[in-house]
Structure 1
Amino acid sequence: MILLTGFEPFGGEAANPSWQAAQQAAEDLRADGVEARAVELPCTFGESIAILRAAVSLHSPRLVFCVGQAGGRTKISLERIAINIDDARIPDNEGNQPIDAPVRVGGPAAYFSTLPIKQALHDLSEAGIAAEISQTAGTYVCNHVFYGLMDQLASSIDSSDDGPRGGFIHVPYSVEQAAVHGVPGMPVAEMAAALRLIALTSQRTTSDLRLAAGAEH
C-alpha cells in the first residue's frame, strides 16, 4: 500500500497544492489498481508528526510519500535529506515558532530519503515533467515531517524485513497561486501526475530489490 500526505493551507493561502496533488495522485493510483491512501497533515510542529505516525501505524504502507508546497520553486523537488532541526522563519498554523530546536532530542543528525530519487528524476524527465533533486527540505514543517517520517521508518526495520521506504517531495505553487504571487507555478494535475509516476517508479524499484534479495538467499 502507498500512503501519500499533503499539508493544509498555511501562510495565508486559501489552498495547498501539496494536498490537492496528493489526493488526486491517490485517486489515479487506485484507478491503476494500486492500493493508495491520502492523508492531510496540519501545518504545525509536533501535531503533524503525530498524525503521520498514526496514519503509518494504521495503514502499514510499503511506500510513504510526504508532499509539501515550496512556493517559488519551478520544479518537482525530490528531497534527498532531512535534518534534525526546527528553525521557523514564520509561525506555524498554531503560532509555534521554534528556533534551533531538534525535531527529536538525541536523534540522528540527519536521515536520507529511501526513495529511488535518481531513477524517479530520470522517469519524470522522460515524461516531460520538470523535476530536480533538492539537497534541502528547509527547516520548517516540511523538514519536520520528513525527519519524523524517516525516524519512524528507521525504527520499523528489523533483521527479517527491509521495511517500508519513504521520502519527501516538494511541489511549486499552483498556477492560481503563482498568478497572485507573480512567480512560476505548475498545474495541480501535473503535480499529481508526477506523484503518480514517482510512486510507480518506487514501487517497481522496491519490487526489483526484493526479488534480487530473494535470489541471493
Structure 2
Amino acid sequence: MANKKKVVVTGFEPFGDHAVNSSWVAVQELERLGLGEAVDLYVCEVPVEYQAVQCLLPSLWKEQQPQLVVHVGVSGLATTVTLEQCGHNKGYKRLDNCSFCPASQCCMENGPDCIKSVLDMETICGRVNESNMGITVSVSKDAGRYLCDYTYYTSLYLGRGRSAFVHVPPLGKPYSSQELGRGLQAVIQEMLTLLEGENTEGGDTHNRLCYHKH
C-alpha cells in the first residue's frame, strides 16, 4: 500500500521515582500490537530533558512526515488513561534529568499560551469508553508543566495541532503493560478515524488552532 498512514508514538525514559516508565513500556506493547495494515507505526523513546526534546521533535516531524504524533507519558496521579486536550507554553520550573530547566521557563518565546489539539479528546474518550474494553479513559486540560506538557506544546506547534498526548498510570495501578498497550491502540485508532473524517470534510485543520491568551 503506497498510501499508508504514518503515525509516530513516543514514550519517555525513566525519571524520578519512575525507575520503569510505564509510558515507554506501553508504547513497546503497542508496537507489538500494531495499528493495522494501513498504518506505518514508528516509535521512539524520549529523554526527560528539555534540550533533547527541542532537538528531537523537529527532526521527528521532518523526517517521518507523520499524519499524527502521539506522545505518551506517565502520571503518578493518573488512575485512568488520560487524554490531554492542550499544551501550555509557560511555567516550566521543574528540573529535568540533567538538572536543567529553561531560563525563560517557557517552551517558545512569544508563542501562544496554550495550543489545542485538532482532535476532540471528549469524542475519542466517549467512543473508547462506550466500547467497554475494560480500560477507563478520561480527558484533562492540564498536562502538568513538566516534560510531558513541554513535549506536547512543542509538538502541537510543529505539527499545527496534529498531535495528541496520553497520560498513563504507573504499571499495575491498575493496568498491566498489555492493557495499557491495548488502551493506546484503541485510543489512537479512534484518533485516526476522527482525522479521516476531517480530511474528507475538506476542513482546514490549521484554522481550528486555538491560540488563546489566558
Q: TM-score, normalised by structure 1?
A: 0.83
CA distance in 2 between counterparts of 1:49 and 1:168 reads 17
CA distance in 1 between counterparts of 2:68 and 2:45 reads 16
**How far is the alpha carbon of 1:33 from its aligned partner?**
4.6
Asked if residue 202 in structure 1 is aligned to residue 206 in structure 2, the reply is: no
- The corresponding residue for 1:68 is 73
Does the CA contact (< 8 Å) of 1:153 and 1:165 recur in 2? Answer: yes
CA distance in 2 between counterparts of 1:138 and 1:204 reads 28
CA distance in 1 between counterparts of 2:175 and 2:104 reads 32
SS of 1:37's equivalent? strand
Asked if residue 149 in structure 1 is aligned to residue 149 in structure 2, the reply is: no
**How far is the alpha carbon of 1:143 from its aligned partner?**
0.5
| 1:2-13 equivalences in 2 (<5 Å) | 2-13=7-18
- The corresponding residue for 1:159 is none
SS of 1:95's equivalent? coil
**How far is the alpha carbon of 1:116 from its aligned partner?**
3.2
Q: Which residue, 138, 144, 149 being the options, matches 1:138? A: 144
Residue 28 to residue 116, structure 1, CA distance change in 2 (3 Å): farther
Q: Which residue, 32, 42, 58 being the options, matches 2:47? A: 42
Task: Give unpaired runs (5+ residues) of structure 2.
Answer: 1-5, 204-214
Does the CA contact (< 8 Å) of 2:8 and 2:69 recur in 1? Answer: yes
**How far is the alpha carbon of 1:100 from its aligned partner?**
6.5
- Report the RMSD for the aligned CA atoms in angstroms: 1.9
- The corresponding residue for 2:212 is none
Letter of the 2:146 counterpart:
Y
Task: Give unpaired runs (5+ residues) of structure 1.
Answer: 155-163, 176-183
CA distance in 2 between counterparts of 1:104 and 1:136 reads 18
Does the CA contact (< 8 Å) of 1:4 and 1:37 recur in 2? Answer: yes
**How far is the alpha carbon of 1:98 from its aligned partner?**
4.5
Asked if residue 191 in structure 1 is aligned to residue 185 in structure 2, the reply is: no
Residue 12 to residue 149, structure 1, CA distance change in 2 (3 Å): same
- The corresponding residue for 1:172 is 169
SS of 2:179's equivalent? helix
SS of 2:202's equivalent? helix
Does the CA contact (< 8 Å) of 1:49 and 1:149 recur in 2? Answer: no
Does the CA contact (< 8 Å) of 1:86 and 1:102 recur in 2? Answer: yes
Residue 88 to residue 174, structure 1, CA distance change in 2 (3 Å): farther
- The corresponding residue for 1:81 is 86
Letter of the 2:64 counterpart:
H
- The corresponding residue for 1:211 is 200
SS of 2:50's equivalent? coil
User: In percent, how many aligned pairs have the same letter?
Assistant: 27
CA distance in 1 between counterparts of 2:35 and 2:78 reads 29
Residue 106 to residue 73, structure 1, CA distance change in 2 (3 Å): same
Q: Which residue, 108, 113, 123 being the options, matches 2:127? A: 123
CA distance in 2 between counterparts of 1:86 and 1:192 reads 31
CA distance in 1 between counterparts of 2:180 and 2:118 reads 21
Give deviations 1:132-184, integer Å, cap 9, x for gaps. 10120011111100110011112xxxxxxxxx721111001111xxxxxxxx3
